[in-house]
Amino acid sequence: MDPKAFILGMSAISAGICSLSGLGSGLSQGFAAGKAAEAVARQPEARGAILSTMMVGCAIAETCSIYGLIIALLLLLANPLIALL
């Protein structure tokens, strides 16, 4: 088996797994938005604080998917493991 082909194949599989981080981010942001809507419905006077806290939480959740995207792109386009062969 060619070691370069093996590394490229494993890198493609790893990039696919890294891209699944967007799934978790999307689910958590949807859950947070739903809970924020429920909280605003219960206490409309606290709308500003609830929404600002939700936006900070969604921004933190989004960084996980961005990191996954960066790792996937590095593995696919600028694979550092090829240089070790």
Mean pLDDT value across the chain: 90
Q: What is the pTM of this model?
A: 0.74
Q: At 63, which CATH number?
A: 1.20.20.10
- Tens digit of each residue's pLDDT (9 = 90 or more) over 2-17: 888 998 899 999 999 9
Contact 36, 10 (CB under 8 A): no
Residue 32 lies in a domain: yes
Domain count for the chain = 1
Q: How many whole angstroms separate alpha carbon 69 and alpha carbon 22?
A: 8
Residue 36 lies in a domain: yes
Taking alpha carbons only, the member of 4, 19, 7 closest to residue 65 is 19
- Tens digit of each residue's pLDDT (9 = 90 or more) over 16-66: 998 888 888 889 899 999 999 999 999 999 999 999 999 999 998 889 889
Residue 5 lies in a domain: no
What confidence score (pLDDT) does residue 41 get?
95
Parent domain of 72: 24-79
